[in-house]
Chains A and B, each alone.
Chain A
Amino acid sequence: MTEHAARRHAQDEDRRTDRELVYAARDGDMLAFDALFYRYRDGIFRLGLAITKDPSAAEEIAVDTFTRAHRALARLEPEGSLRPWLYRVAVNLSYNRRPRKGVILSPLEDSANDTFQSEERSPSLLAEQAEVRRIVLAAVDTLGPKHRIVVVLHYMNGLNLAEIAQVVDCPIGTVKSRLHYALRRLRTHLSAHPEFGIEPMSFLAPSAKRTVAPVVEPLQGEPQ
């Protein structure tokens, strides 16, 4: 069977659930493992790219993730989707990966510019969008790892709170708290940029400050 035919066969097996594919791969069916690979390859690559900002490193992370999955086939027991397990491995690999020396990382806004080049938009609008995107991603980089990964998983990978909780292995309430804390930190950070029209936190009058003081203080603190 040729490589093309094998890939097509692997993609046709998407109707099977992750659990069925894992059991089939455990019995030696490599096409079932290929189906799992094609199903989650891009998501893991994007996750690694969002954290490392290095496409080569993101590809290596994807390969390492599936290599570990293959080695762990005998003990994998996915209840539903295998995605949380794979994403957890990918997140750990991404954060444990040291940036390579002498490699100029391509910022994510470059890919954004490439994507929007085909659309018929004015150069000034494209430049403005690229600048806004650069500011937003730079603000995300100022977050701590725990809060940044929640933002990445929610806004880029599109995971809901329950799936994020499985990935980061913490309760859903903690995930919600981290996400809201990250948004408030971003609000504070982006208030320095007039492009967003975000009013600084000190816009309130002194009387109003006193009124909302009990609320403002816990907002600026760390989440529970």
Chain B
Amino acid sequence: MRLFPVACRAAEQKMADLFTGELHPRERLELEAHADGCARCDAALRDLTTISFALDRAYAPLRQRGTLLSPARVRLAARVEPQSTAPWWRTGFVGRLSEATMALGFAALVLGGSLDLAVKPGPEVAPTVAAPSVIKDYFKTQPPTEESAYVRWLRFQLRVIGTSSAPAVRYPVGGQFDVEQYTTEDDWLGTGAPR
């Protein structure tokens, strides 16, 4: 490959391209060929190479430095509100309204609960249970003395004895038996007693 001689001015331009990495390999050979025959350009080429290397080494540690800056500082400086991921019912006017409603409800719940707690419960009253009376039970099981009442009592007793599921004895309530009312069919004795 034939290399054309370059003058010192052109060599100076090629040096500028050399340190920015934009010099074609052929032009670099031309530059070196010129530097072999020119002491000044040879010294300039060596010195600038040394300086370029020294600059690269001087900034090498700085190139490894970083920062732990967070984008939150930029958002804070730019007054950017963070993007909301809440559903529609928790954003805007509806969200504030629902929050206010929930707050009022919670306050009412707390206030009502505290009022209930403020009322002191009274002393526990045991349910009054009448003492069982053997005498009353005895007279309740006795047949009535009045005739028509005795007949109803007797029919009731016979009916009760005939059924196994019913209790054997049913007591009259309020002085009368809680059975069917007296009908004409009951008048089989022909007593003619009023109902």
**Which A residues touch B61, using CB under 8 A?**
108, 111-112, 114-116, 133
B56 within 8 A of A: yes
The 8 Å CB contact of B51, one of A45, A70, A176, A186, is A186
Are B55 and A67 in contact, CB atoms less than 8 angstroms apart?
no
Contacts A151-B55, A155-B55, A180-B15: A199 and B62 contacting too (C-beta < 8 A)?
A: no
Most buried by A among B67, B71, B83: B71
The 8 Å CB contact of A204, one of B39, B55, B58, B60, is B39
Q: List CB contacts (< 8 Å) of A128-148 with chain B.
A: 129, 132-133, 136-137, 140
Query: Chain A: interface secondary structure?
Result: helix
**Which B residues touch A37, using CB under 8 A?**
69, 71, 74
Contact with A along B133-152 (1 / 0, CB 8 A): 00000000000000000000
Give the number of chain A interface residues (Cβ < 8 Å): 67
Are B77 and A183 in contact, CB atoms less than 8 angstroms apart?
no
**Which B residues touch A64, using CB under 8 A?**
77
Q: Tell me the complex Cα distance, A29–B80, Å.
A: 12
A21 within 8 A of B: no
**Which B residues touch A33, using CB under 8 A?**
71, 74
A220 within 8 A of B: no
B78 within 8 A of A: yes
The 8 Å CB contact of A45, one of B17, B55, B66, B85, is B66
B2 within 8 A of A: no
Q: Which residues of A contact B (CB under 8 A)?
A: 1, 3, 10, 28-30, 33-34, 37-38, 41-42, 45-46, 49-50, 55, 58-59, 62-64, 66-67, 70-71, 108, 111-112, 114-116, 129, 132-133, 136-137, 140, 151-152, 154-156, 158, 160-161, 176-177, 179-180, 183-184, 186-187, 190-191, 196-199, 203-204, 208, 212, 215-216, 219
22 chain-A/chain-B pairs, Cβ below 8 angstroms: A1-B85, A3-B72, A29-B83, A37-B71, A46-B62, A50-B62, A66-B71, A70-B78, A111-B62, A137-B58, A140-B55, A140-B58, A155-B55, A155-B56, A160-B22, A180-B16, A183-B52, A187-B48, A196-B50, A198-B47, A216-B40, A219-B12
